Amino acid sequence: MNKIKLALISGAACVAMVACSKPQPPQTDPAAAPAASATAQQPAGTETAPEAVENAAPVDQDSLAAEQARLEAEKIAADKARLESERARLEQLINQIMSEDVYFDFDRSELTEKAKELLAQVAELLLRETRFTITIEGHTDARGTEDYNFTLGAKRAMKVKEFLNAYGVEGKRMESVSYGKEAPKVEGASEEAYSQNRRANFRVNIKD
């Protein structure tokens, strides 16, 4: 019985997640999301109801409390799902902006003009979406030693952080980390692959 409930709740959460992540345009205003997830919950809720009533007759109050807890959990799950999808959307948006151009030259950590333009867009986004924090990951291409590439990746991530900071994004919202040459975007030993891998990318986190 409990297991069934749990399954249904998570099912509802899934529906909610799909509902609010899929059909919405990229520029969602936050108010639309709860509405969408609320409607998504409706059918899921009615589905569980008959089952709950059948077995619940003898222990009425217990089941009532359980029902309330369930609704509570559903709400929290929906909230979380909504925030999560927002986060995913922002992360995708930022990484999409950055992926248009790879912006470090070999063994360099200076930002190119193109990179600065793109980072300005990222900064605008971050200034608008104040609930999110970011982790900036610095990467290098496959050439060179593991050790030195860690320091190089760190320098690149730092340059990005400094730029965003100068643009007004608070330093405490940003964390930088180096992956050196350990997490290439593209495998291979061509200049094409190398230039794709000399990059910084972003992970977006939700501030607690």
Partner 1 sequence: MSSNKHAVDGQKVRKVFRISSLALSIVFWLLLFLMPSVSSAAIDTIAVDVGISVFKTMPIGVVPFTEPKNSIEWIEEKPHQILTRDAELSGRFEVVPSEKFNLALFSKKKAKHYITGKVTPTDGGKLRLECFLYVSQTKDILLGEAYTITQQDLRKAMHQFFDQVIYRLWAERGVASTKLAYVSKIDGIKQVVVSDYDGFHRSQITRDTVISMMPVWMKDNKGLVYVNFKTNRPKLYSRMFGGTEKVLFPQLDQTYSPAVNPVTGELLFSNTVDGKTDLYIGSPKTGKARKFAYLKSNQTSPAWSPFASEVLFTSDRGGGPQIFIMGKDGSDMRRVTFMGRYNERASWSPSGDRIAYTSMDNGKMNIYTCALDGSDIVQLTNNAGNNEHPTWSPDGKLIAFSSNRSGSYQIYIMRMDGSNVTRITNSGENTSPTWSFFYEDSNKQEGAK
Q: Can you give the binding site for partner 1, defined by CB under 8 A?
A: 107, 135, 143-148, 150-151, 154-155, 157-159, 161, 176-180, 182
> Least distance in Å: CB of 188 to partner 1?
13
User: How many C-beta atoms lie closer than 10 Å to residue 147's C-beta?
Assistant: 9
- Hey, what's the torsion of the CAs at 74, 47, 28, 138, to 10 degrees? 60
Q: How far is the CB of 151 from partner 1 (least distance, A)?
A: 4
**Shortest Å distance, C-beta 17 to partner 1:** 24
Q: Which is nearer to partner 1, 66 or 158 (CB)?
A: 158
Q: Strand, helix or coil at 191?
A: helix
Closer of 34 and 144 to partner 1 (Cβ):
144
The answer for residues whose C-beta is within 8 angstroms of residue 208's C-beta and 6 or more apart is: none
Strand residues in 10-148 grouped as ranges (E): 132-139
As measured in angstroms, the least distance from the Cβ of 45 to partner 1 is: 37
DSSP annotation of 172 reads G
Nearer to partner 1, 49 or 177 (CB): 177
Nearer to partner 1, 28 or 205 (CB): 205
Q: Do 132 and 205 meet the contact criterion of CB atoms below 8 Å apart?
A: yes
Kindly state the tokens that stand for 66. 């359980």
